[in-house]
Structure 1
Amino acid sequence: MSTAGKVIKCKAAVLWETKKPFSIEDIEVAPPKAHEVRIKMVATSVCRTDEHVVAGSLSTPLPAVLGHEGAGIVESVGEGVTSVKPGDKVIPLFSPQCGNCRICKHPEGNLCVTSLANPRGTMSDGTTRFTCKGKSIHNFISTSTFSQYTVVDEMAVAKIDAASPLDKVCLIGCGFSTGYGSAVKVAKVTPGSTCAVFGLGGVGLSVIIGCKTAGAARIIAVDINKDKFAKAKELGATECINPLDYSKPIHEVLQEMTDGGVDFSFEVIGRLDTMMSSLLSSHASCGVSVIVGTPPNSQSISMNPLLLLLGRTWKGAIFGGFKSKDSVPKLVADFMAKKFPLEQLITHVLPFEKINEAFELLHSGKSIRTVLTF
């Protein structure tokens, strides 16, 4: 019996307030309006951005259905939707692509102006599609994947290969693409180059995959947790160093190791001190340093302009610089063609109802990516 045009009752993980566990609730998901898509979620993974909301260090209206790194199947579409149809496999996009604004038309830009202008915690029209216990439940950054069904704007969904395994390609919805793209698209790592990657979580490891795919000759992984070194080497790191093993600043160590500094450096932690260490570890005359990690609170960094005057480049980008709707299907196709791995990033697979256990694994540092299946 078709559910198109009807309210769907299903389970979702609702965050009612910060610093509290998720609550598995029965919710109602309204049908999609014009230019909207309702998706039956199949898999979603847990990202530290969701944890920032739980901790209260990233503000979004609550109560909300979080989650932004998922994959599913289109259940129904609203009037005017042309890019997907019921039955299509899709990935929701936390960084939408309207295709019409200045940034979408810019050859390098990817942070769609329309997505920035949307009311926070709602669909484009300023309303939500989730209801629980008679209360409206907020949307989260265009996606809300911690629900058996979600509704997204058409510009925030990408159709992908019908043969793709959704419990793996869900990582392309955020973490993998952010790291991989930072290497291949933002930094534009060159064959034979030397790279340093600060932070070996899921996104940092994805940077390593990108550096290796681009042909880097040396990939130096930097982390204070030695337990992460084996996985980093498995994915392409040629050397691993722990700043705690040295009496001098880590950027000086890297400069000595690489004849004055690396060609490309990446900060994938979200700390001001490591952002500066990453910048200084890149060569003063030809180095490129990319900020990938986002500090959870609004903070400022002070630096001497002379650090850039000699020729260094300091860059940053959201979602690895990829235009989401255009690039996600291509990334899935590349995965299917075995151009890069995803399986090694997935350390745990749990049923959706164990979402709080997944966040405990994240807190403890025991997981890289935990995938929740519906």
Structure 2
Amino acid sequence: MSSSTPQVITCKAAVAWRAGEPLVMEEVQVSPPQPLEIRIKVVCTSLCRSDLSAWETQNIFPRIFGHEASGIVESVGQGVTEFKQGDHVLTVFIGECTTCRQCKSGKSNTCQVLGLERKGLMHSDQRTRFFVNGKPVYHYCAVSSFSEYTVVHSGCAVKVSPNVPLEKICLLSCGVAAGLGAAWNVAAVSKGSTVVIFGLGTVGLSVAQGAKLRGASRIIGVDNNPEKCEKAKAFGIAEVINPNSCKEPVVQVIKRITDGGADFSFECIGDTDMITTALQSCCDGWGLTVTLGVPKVKPEMSAHYGLLLMGRTLKGSLFGGWKPKSDLPSLVEKYVNKEIQIDDYITHDLPFEDINRAFSLMKEGKCLRCVIHMPR
């Protein structure tokens, strides 16, 4: 840790001033880290669909989006003992305090202290650390990585080896980890099972990777984007259904080809109507549906009670059930040992100044993950 007291840093950040409008590269002032916080020089950040959804629909502005990121600790606040200047870290959008009821339960990763941040302010004092010409700029998902520097609570960062490529593992901050965990932790996909995945973006394809590694014998993908259907085959999904090309409802197709329904189904789109479809696509008796997507509209869902009465189960999955500080280091190790794949999800590498292009590519369905590289 530097002996000098951290000062305000002026740097570049991509600021969203209004919903759906292009991000504007601004000079922002980033406050020093407060007690139990760290300030990070962002090295790489990737665009997640939840960033896109929030940019299109939420009403907290001006704001700095971004939450899948890797970087290097620039300074630490009072009371921080876990990190020091120069440490390499992953950011996480949910933290782990290790002491609350949820953290100690062993049953959950929804920390009561550092859970989902919804107001655009820091957990510790409900204030922002970003300013443009004295005007406060709000945070996103406790990270705000579309900035050359950001401040996060020390519970929302995970230390990693300096030998691990930051431009790859930033995907473990959300998408890839969320998909793997949904298959492993939440669903506990069993050997020889049949799996159907709705939505073949990064999360859906990570579910496929997780299911395959757990021995699923049949993985079926569902998506109405022909480009994604084609890419899915490279991730081991041999059967892909495009609902737009079907002559019958997709549920009927799945039931017919699986002899009554899949053992497991995963909703990775963020469409509450699709949750019902996924639930209907499971078999009676033991079919399990896991929903991972974040809906842009219509957060309420409905389903006929008979689907549950016949033995189906519906579960939600936040970050794949991983406790970030406890579990992410083992995922990083699996990547280093080539037990899991990350690189193939990266379809574009872009400089920071091209961040709006990343939004366009994702909106048009032409990418999986765009990794955005910050100036060195």
TM-score (norm 1): 0.96
Deviation at 1:246, TM superposition (A): 2.0
Residue pairs, 1:204-215, within 5 angstroms = 204-215=204-215
Indicate if the aligned counterparts of 2:120 and 2:141 stay in contact, CA closer than 8 A.
Answer: yes
Deviations 1:264-318 (A, max 9, x none): 1001111123211111111111111111112113432222222112221111111
Residue pairs, 1:317-328, within 5 angstroms = 317-328=317-328
| Partner of residue 91, structure 2 | 92
Describe the SS at the equivalent of 1:136.
strand
Residue pairs, 1:1-374, within 5 angstroms = 5-55=6-56, 58-59=57-58, 61-116=60-115, 120-123=119-122, 124-374=124-374
Runs of 5+ in structure 2 lacking a partner? none
Describe the SS at the equivalent of 1:108.
coil
Indicate if the aligned counterparts of 2:44 and 2:373 stay in contact, CA closer than 8 A.
Answer: yes
Describe the SS at the equivalent of 1:219.
strand
> C-alpha distance in 2, partners of 1:3/1:369?
38
> C-alpha distance in 1, partners of 2:4/2:348?
32
Tell me which moved more, 131-140 or 292-301.
292-301
Tell me which moved more, 343-352 or 291-300.
291-300
> C-alpha distance in 2, partners of 1:91/1:361?
24
Deviation at 1:247, TM superposition (A): 2.1
**AA of the residue aligned to 2:295:** P
**AA of the residue aligned to 1:6:** Q
Describe the SS at the equivalent of 1:251.
helix
1:90/1:116 Cα in 2 relative to 1: closer, same or farther (>3 Å)? closer
**AA of the residue aligned to 2:11:** C
Deviation at 1:8, TM superposition (A): 1.2
**AA of the residue aligned to 1:248:** E
Describe the SS at the equivalent of 2:150.
strand
Indicate if the aligned counterparts of 1:222 and 1:241 stay in contact, CA closer than 8 A.
Answer: yes
**AA of the residue aligned to 1:207:** V
Indicate if the aligned counterparts of 1:208 and 1:232 stay in contact, CA closer than 8 A.
Answer: no
> C-alpha distance in 2, partners of 1:371/1:342?
12
Indicate if the aligned counterparts of 2:54 and 2:296 stay in contact, CA closer than 8 A.
Answer: no
> C-alpha distance in 2, partners of 1:187/1:119?
27
Deviation at 1:3, TM superposition (A): 7.4
Indicate if the aligned counterparts of 2:117 and 2:142 stay in contact, CA closer than 8 A.
Answer: no
> C-alpha distance in 2, partners of 1:224/1:119?
31
Aligned-residue identity in percent: 44
Indicate if the aligned counterparts of 2:187 and 2:264 stay in contact, CA closer than 8 A.
Answer: yes
1:63/1:2 Cα in 2 relative to 1: closer, same or farther (>3 Å)? farther
Indicate if the aligned counterparts of 1:9 and 1:27 stay in contact, CA closer than 8 A.
Answer: yes
1:120/1:238 Cα in 2 relative to 1: closer, same or farther (>3 Å)? same
Indicate if the aligned counterparts of 2:66 and 2:140 stay in contact, CA closer than 8 A.
Answer: yes
**AA of the residue aligned to 1:63:** P
> C-alpha distance in 2, partners of 1:350/1:300?
36
Describe the SS at the equivalent of 1:290.
strand
Describe the SS at the equivalent of 1:90.
strand
1:192/1:248 Cα in 2 relative to 1: closer, same or farther (>3 Å)? same
Deviation at 1:117, TM superposition (A): 8.2
**AA of the residue aligned to 2:44:** A
Deviation at 1:48, TM superposition (A): 1.3
Indicate if the aligned counterparts of 1:62 and 1:138 stay in contact, CA closer than 8 A.
Answer: yes
Indicate if the aligned counterparts of 1:93 and 1:325 stay in contact, CA closer than 8 A.
Answer: no
Runs of 5+ in structure 1 lacking a partner? none
**AA of the residue aligned to 2:332:** V
Indicate if the aligned counterparts of 1:60 and 1:140 stay in contact, CA closer than 8 A.
Answer: no
Indicate if the aligned counterparts of 2:116 and 2:141 stay in contact, CA closer than 8 A.
Answer: no
**AA of the residue aligned to 2:68:** E
* Regions of 4+ moved over 6 Å: none
Deviation at 1:223, TM superposition (A): 1.0
**AA of the residue aligned to 1:67:** G
1:221/1:119 Cα in 2 relative to 1: closer, same or farther (>3 Å)? closer
Deviation at 1:59, TM superposition (A): 2.8
Indicate if the aligned counterparts of 1:119 and 1:126 stay in contact, CA closer than 8 A.
Answer: no
> C-alpha distance in 2, partners of 1:330/1:117?
23
Describe the SS at the equivalent of 1:33.
coil
Deviation at 1:233, TM superposition (A): 1.6
Indicate if the aligned counterparts of 1:60 and 1:120 stay in contact, CA closer than 8 A.
Answer: no
**AA of the residue aligned to 2:308:** L
**AA of the residue aligned to 1:283:** C
> C-alpha distance in 2, partners of 1:118/1:258?
40
Deviation at 1:53, TM superposition (A): 2.0
